[in-house]
């Protein structure tokens, strides 16, 4: 292949990887889980239910991605990741 074609393919792969939103970044996922858990444990967390549910959804999403990275062949469906 031409160098130009390889460069184009590399750029396309880079775009796809960035679209995964840190799916494979376990350290970031661990930090996100810790941060959302800490936020969830604050007094008055449920005072703003809309905001609280956003945090709960983000926490569940981060946990799902973390577990899916550790156990990629474990059958976790997307429909059951949020309780």
**Tens digit of each residue's pLDDT (9 = 90 or more) over 8-20:** 888 887 777 665 6
5, HSE (Cβ side, Cα atoms, 13 Å): 2
Residues 6+ apart with CB under 8 A from 83: 60
Q: Tell me, what's the pLDDT at 21?
A: 58
State the pTM of this model. Answer: 0.63
Mean pLDDT of 29-43: 96
């Amino acid at each position: 292949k031409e160098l130009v074609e390889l460069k184009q393919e590399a750029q396309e792969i880079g775009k796809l990887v960035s679209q995964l939103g840190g799916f494979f970044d376990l350290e970031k996922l661990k930090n996100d889980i810790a941060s959302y858990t800490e936020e969830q444990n604050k007094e008055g967390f449920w005072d703003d239910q809309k905001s609280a549910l956003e945090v709960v959804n983000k926490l569940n999403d981060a946990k799902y991605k973390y577990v899916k990275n550790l156990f990629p062949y474990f059958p976790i469906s997307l429909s059951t990741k949020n309780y």
